[in-house]
Amino acid sequence: MSEALTSPKSSSASPSPRIASGFEMISLTVFIAIALVIAGLVSLDTGWTGIGLFVLGGLLGGVFLGFQYGFASAWRRALVHGEMMGISGHFLLIGLCACIFIPASLWGLDGAGSIAPVSVSLFIGAFMFGIGMQLANGCGSGVLFSFGGGSGRMIIALPFFIIGSVLGSFILPTALDWGSAGPIAIAGNFSDAPRALINLALIGLAGGGFYAIGRRRGQHLDRRLLLACVIIAILCGAVFALSGHPWGVTFGFTLWGAKLAQDLGVPVENFAFWQWPGPARALGHSLLSDVSSLMNIGMVLGAAMLASVSGQLRRQSWPSGKQLLAAAIGGILMGIGARLSFGCNIGAFLGGIASGSVHGWVWFVLAMAGSWTGVYLRPGFGLSK
């Protein structure tokens, strides 16, 4: 369940804290014990930076689950019902992050944004991702925090996302040869301050445009959505300050899958992607040494703890077989798509646009087109449009 917080209706779906008992208490104790062991191991190697990123992942998991903040359902509501406030909220979040990412040096931060190539693979991958996120009912972060919350749908979607992202890592080196204009930074010739202003103007234009359309239709920006955007932006800023990069989710999935495949005897290390210096280093080191992997683990545990105390974990049930099939197909499409398009809603859409990269805008347009396709495929799997 990764329905976005975009309307008063959705607030009733968010877990409300209450005294837990029985199964929840046992679950909570297990999750806290796992978190403490992992934090201890992290502290031995990467110290406070590692612990900080692990905790930030946990907080993001809790905030996303608590506010039911997501992307897939907000985009679907925009496409099907013309509800625009969810997307305008996304651009608000992006704008707040852009204030940190682009003029990083002005804040005294030593970091670099998410700039990626505008390639043929980006177009294909983002479109695939858009279809997948509608079939699976969640995007990269949505799959993760909903899995953490015990969602039956995401118990299926996550492993297929991981499998898809490993397949995507095998395909990407070839796909990059299909054509690329290279990385393009908007107003890249300008210094940080004017570059930030130009990008903020573009983000404001897009977000303001969606907001204006929504207002004309009598829609309102929910206060809880605003609060969620501000909290998530602060957490994203903290991730940037600690890691030197915008928050990303899907490389962690790829790494988990590659390590598992290696354990099963697949010579992952022989594939071109895993011979590039960055991925090769990640594959050769602990899963707790990679920012994305570490934060993903934190996100699952953060969401799991909140789901335990709120009783959400106990209430989960299996969707129909058709819906589970949709989750599996959606997971595979998102996995491959994320690798071909350099990320998901977090790494490419949020991180890319907030870093002033053209690839983030292309990703948004193509993923929206894919979502439109996915919305029309949903009824075939017993899902509402």
Partner 1 sequence: MTFTPKNIYLMIVLLGSILLIGDHLTSPALTDVGSPSELGNACAPCGAPCTE
Site for partner 1 in 109-138 (CB under 8 A): 112, 114-117
d(CA 139, CA 314): 23
Does 178 bind partner 1 (CB under 8 A)? Our answer is no
CB of 341 to partner 1, least distance (A): 10
CB 349 within 8 A of CB 106: no
The one among 157, 225, 294, 354 contacting partner 1 by CB under 8 A: 294
Site for partner 1 in 228-247 (CB under 8 A): 243-246
The one among 318, 322, 365, 385 contacting partner 1 by CB under 8 A: 318
**Nearer residue to partner 1 within complex by CB, 7 or 141:** 141
What does each C-alpha distance from 84 to 8, 263, 269 come to in angstroms?
A: 14, 45, 44
Site for partner 1 in 254-293 (CB under 8 A): 254, 259-260, 273, 276-279, 281-282, 284-292
Helix (H) or strand (E) segment spanning residue 118: strand 117-119
Does 38 bind partner 1 (CB under 8 A)? Our answer is yes
| Residue 155 exposed, middle or buried by CB count within 10 Å (0-12, 13-18, 19+) | middle
The stretch among 72-80, 98-106, 190-198, 341-349 that binds partner 1 (CB under 8 A) is 341-349
CB 232 within 8 A of CB 95: no
Does 316 bind partner 1 (CB under 8 A)? Our answer is yes
CB 161 within 8 A of CB 106: no
What does each C-alpha distance from 5 to 147, 231, 244, 370 come to in angstroms?
A: 17, 14, 29, 21
At 357 the three-state DSSP class reads strand
Interface with partner 1 (CB under 8 A), residue total 73
**Nearer residue to partner 1 within complex by CB, 210 or 342:** 342
Does 185 bind partner 1 (CB under 8 A)? Our answer is no
* DSSP secondary structure string for all residues of 163-201: HHHHHHHHHHHHHGGG-EEEE-BTTTTS-HHHHHHHHHH
CB of 220 to partner 1, least distance (A): 35
The one among 36, 37, 226, 230 contacting partner 1 by CB under 8 A: 37
Q: Which two tokens stand for residue 372?
A: 């439109």
**Nearer residue to partner 1 within complex by CB, 211 or 256:** 256
What is the rounded radius of gyration, in angstroms, for the C-alpha atoms of the chain?
Answer: 20
Does 6 bind partner 1 (CB under 8 A)? Our answer is no
Does 32 bind partner 1 (CB under 8 A)? Our answer is no
Does 39 bind partner 1 (CB under 8 A)? Our answer is no
CB 109 within 8 A of CB 100: yes
**Nearer residue to partner 1 within complex by CB, 292 or 310:** 292
**Nearer residue to partner 1 within complex by CB, 85 or 238:** 238
